[in-house]
Chain A
Amino acid sequence: DQQVKQNSPSLSVQEGRISILNCDYTNSMFDYFLWYKKYPAEGPTFLISISSIKDKNEDGRFTVFLNKSAKHLSLHIVPSQPGDSAVYFCAAIRTYGQNFVFGPGTRLSVLP
């Protein structure tokens, strides 16, 4: 039973356009959410996070939106760059919890 879902296995976007990656979760106890980026044969790299007390967090080209009532979050990348091509994992954790639960990932391809 997947607690964190990313229903799009892959996404292709033209360079300069917006990339929108989606994530849904089922466990209402999760209250901290993170996005990680992963290149092949490397460890995940932290991108951005959001606490459940917020509905938006922005860092440069990356913005994460959280809709708690829908148990849905999304990562927006604007403008998309070829170097953004990677697998993006959504992760969730409870405050004071220790287990980060990861979604299955979305492979983003940014085409020049």
Chain B
Amino acid sequence: DTEVTQTPKHLVMGMTNKKSLKCEQHMGHRAMYWYKQKAKKPPELMFVYSYEKLSINESVPSRFSPECPNSSLLNLHLHALQPEDSALYLCASRPMGQGNTEAFFGQGTRLTVV
């Protein structure tokens, strides 16, 4: 299994809603990432978890709350988002302790905030 699975694929939410994005991988990767990608822009790092602990938070607003319940799952809890938060949210995973390796990306969740 070499997949990173993200659900849902599409999400439309109001500014007062609370929703969660989910990401799952069964490759035994111990680093997991959330990236945000706006149209015609490169992916921008939001959070990194290493061994289920938050290791990087790129000054992301608190309306985005990550959670890593175990080594296979990564969630992104969303609350009180703004229309400018509409974007493609990408999850990625990567092995650790093996030197330089690539990150494997999921298909993304297309989020629209109305």
User: Residues of A with Cβ closer than 8 Å to B?
Assistant: 31-32, 34, 36, 41-46, 49, 51, 89, 93, 95, 98-100, 102-105
Q: List 27 interface pairs A-B (beta carbons < 8 Å), by A numbering.
A: A32-B100, A36-B105, A41-B108, A41-B110, A43-B6, A43-B90, A43-B92, A43-B107, A43-B108, A44-B90, A45-B105, A46-B102, A46-B104, A49-B100, A49-B102, A89-B42, A89-B43, A93-B100, A95-B99, A98-B48, A98-B50, A98-B56, A99-B48, A100-B103, A102-B42, A104-B42, A105-B40
Chain B hits for A46, CB < 8 A: 102-105
Interface assignment of B45: CB less than 8 Å from any CB of chain A: yes
**Extra A-B contacts (9), CB below 8 Å, given A46-B103, A102-B44:** A34-B102, A42-B107, A43-B105, A43-B106, A43-B107, A44-B90, A98-B50, A100-B45, A104-B42
Q: Write the chain A residue with the least CB distance to B4.
A: A43
Contacts of B99 in A (CB 8 A): 95
- In chain B, positions 93-114 with a C-beta closer than 8 Å to chain A are 99-100, 102-108, 110
B43 partner, pick from A32, A42, A49, A102, beta carbons under 8 A: A102
Query: How many chain B residues touch A (Cβ–Cβ < 8 Å)?
Result: 27
Interface residues of B (CB under 8 A from A): 4, 6, 31, 33, 40-45, 48, 50, 55-56, 88, 90, 92, 99-100, 102-108, 110
In the complex, what residues of B have CB within 8 A of residue A105's CB? 40, 42
Closest chain A residue, CB of each to CB of B107: A43
Q: Interface of chain B, helix or strand or loop or mixed?
A: strand
Chain A nearest CB from B50 CB (Å) reads 7
Contacts of A43 in B (CB 8 A): 4, 6, 90, 92, 105-108
Residues on the B chain within 8 Å of A100, using CB: 33, 45, 103
Residues of A within 8 A of B56 (CB): 98-99
Output the least CB separation between B8 and chain A (Å).
13
Report whether B100 and A95 are in contact in the complex, using a CB–CB cutoff of 8 Å: yes
**Closest chain B residue to A95 by CB distance?**
B100
| Cβ contact within 8 Å between A44 and B43 | yes
A residues near B50, Cβ cutoff 8 Å: 98
